[in-house]
Structure 1
């Protein structure tokens, strides 16, 4: 194949992050810090690091396939899966088989660590690119938008990067009691292992907050609007009451919307439907490495997303 003649493919290590940063800038014309990339792909908290692949043409980085190992658990045990999250190639190196080659290179690494499947929350681009790799379709998440009628000051703060202001109003520490509530449902199904190690990992490159209102718990991030990664409510009525109080906070902070993205089979979806109607969100696509795996045995949440 053509890519074998002029490209060098390798597993990413810590020395490749300046190249990944350079590649990100050339493809998207957006700046991202070296620290952000290193922290995002430093998944030592699950015991596996760097299941990504990168292609060089000479000394020039030309394509990258990014994936993150994740640990899912149920009441019987734990297993590894991979979340495919980034893929970009310089324009003049596209249509040469690099994406497929890098993906297959990464899949070999994943199999070495007994990862059961690789999955993604599909965009149009990823949906097209994975078809050639034999990916399958699971189902769509549901998204719920809850509006707040207030001045959009949150968008201004986000644009000016003054988001540290939220640290004054929301706590970042997640208590053990909050963790137990957030992981108390669907124990028979596999869910992303949510513990202090995972929380520390996420907070190494994004700011997250834990809000406890009465018996309800919300784990969220704020970027112009409030994105809720997961929540726990003992009942739909309790959720409705907690949301009224949470909306008051959002009103005074100039946050115009709450966004939830949840598995259609999750208790969260059932409870949110008592507040507003859902819209169709990302399709979960996957490639299984273990024929015994059934994604109906898994519950996905917004906080599984690499950028959450």
Structure 2
């Protein structure tokens, strides 16, 4: 497709829409700083939006007004396994608009351009995670709900001193050092991580390129009781995904994760994944399921059905 910048005019204002690339990284950092008090670093954003790390072209988009960055639509390429075959799907994630440019249709325009980029790369569809509040607006853009994620919160009994340290930029380096000391005996190779949700249907393929790229969020692969756990510790022990977790080792795994959380000063261990998977009854032993984000999909092809895809918390762009 034509990747030249496009002009969008509305209410007497003129915006230039572009495919996001490394040349716009500083503009994205500026835009993030205008909207969020805390957020990813420049280096983390550079890694996150480097589509070439997985051999793909960019699918994120950015808007400028008179050279000023005013809106951004983040989108990331994800490999998925369907009946043993590898395909690509776009993860529509960041939605950022300057306060003086809202309600002008920029979000829809940038998203539409991202969808065109995905289709030009033969992606089979797109997925997004919406809250109950934001889900209503998503329908106007063609999103179709395809299930609700479930969260399982398992308390550790610890005071939240780790959460406070994580939120203090000056103390974060020291806290990371503490976390690595605690995780040391359990750290495992992360070249490939087998996604157990593949057994429940369509799921993201955690191959070498994906695992190498998905390092911008302080996450680690652990080996506990014969199971592999992909975790991130930032205010909680968030389990992004698991492999070989079953009835025989679930007790040991959860007890160890709770101990890790206690020693890292966080109050809970959290699992979050699609409902009605083989893991749901196992996790229900330790905590009640709570409804979380709404999974929404857009199909780009009639040949492959992406409905029913199963997601882990590690599939979030923020993991």
- CA 1:117–1:296: 2 relative to 1, 3 Å: closer
Which structure's residues are more often helix, by fraction?
1
Whether the aligned pair in 1 keeps the contact of 2:146 and 2:308 (CA below 8 Å) is: no
**Distance in 2 separating the partners of 1:103 and 1:129:** 13
Moved over 6 A (4+): none
**Distance in 2 separating the partners of 1:301 and 1:126:** 20
**Distance in 1 separating the partners of 2:161 and 2:272:** 23
Q: TM-score, normalised by structure 2?
A: 0.88
Q: Which residue of 2 aligns with 1:183?
A: 195
Q: Which residue of 2 aligns with 1:261?
A: 272
Q: Which residue of 2 aligns with 1:163?
A: 176
Compute the displacement of 1:49 (Å).
3.2
How many residues are matched?
305
What 5-or-longer segments of structure 2 have no aligned partner? Answer: 1-7
Are 1:200 and 2:207 counterparts? no
**Distance in 2 separating the partners of 1:232 and 1:207:** 19
Larger mean Cα displacement after TM superposition, 272-281 or 21-30: 21-30
- CA 1:11–1:240: 2 relative to 1, 3 Å: same
- CA 1:135–1:74: 2 relative to 1, 3 Å: closer
1:234-264: CA deviation from partner (whole Å, max 9, x where unpaired): 5224202321233223223322100110111
Are 1:134 and 2:142 counterparts? yes
What 5-or-longer segments of structure 1 have no aligned partner? Answer: none
**Distance in 2 separating the partners of 1:131 and 1:297:** 18
Compute the displacement of 1:280 (Å).
0.4
Compute the displacement of 1:8 (Å).
0.9
Larger mean Cα displacement after TM superposition, 87-96 or 13-22: 87-96
Task: List aligned pairs for 1:98-117, cutoff 5 A.
Answer: 98-117=106-125
Compute the displacement of 1:297 (Å).
4.5
Q: Which residue of 2 aligns with 1:94?
A: 102
Larger mean Cα displacement after TM superposition, 235-244 or 36-45: 235-244
Q: Which residue of 2 aligns with 1:229?
A: 240
Larger mean Cα displacement after TM superposition, 243-252 or 19-28: 243-252
Say which SS state the counterpart of residue 123 (structure 2) adopts: coil
- CA 1:20–1:275: 2 relative to 1, 3 Å: same
Partner residue of 1:76 out of 74, 78, 84: 84
Task: List aligned pairs for 1:1-308, cutoff 5 A.
Answer: 2-3=9-10, 6-30=14-38, 32-124=40-132, 126-159=134-167, 160-161=171-172, 162-171=175-184, 174-175=188-189, 179=192, 182-183=194-195, 186-187=198-199, 189-203=201-215, 205-308=216-319
RMSD over aligned Cα atoms: 2.3
Say which SS state the counterpart of residue 221 (structure 2) adopts: strand
Compute the displacement of 1:5 (Å).
6.0
Q: TM-score, normalised by structure 1?
A: 0.90
1:69-88: CA deviation from partner (whole Å, max 9, x where unpaired): 11111452110100011111
Compute the displacement of 1:24 (Å).
1.4
- CA 1:118–1:275: 2 relative to 1, 3 Å: same
Compute the displacement of 1:125 (Å).
5.5
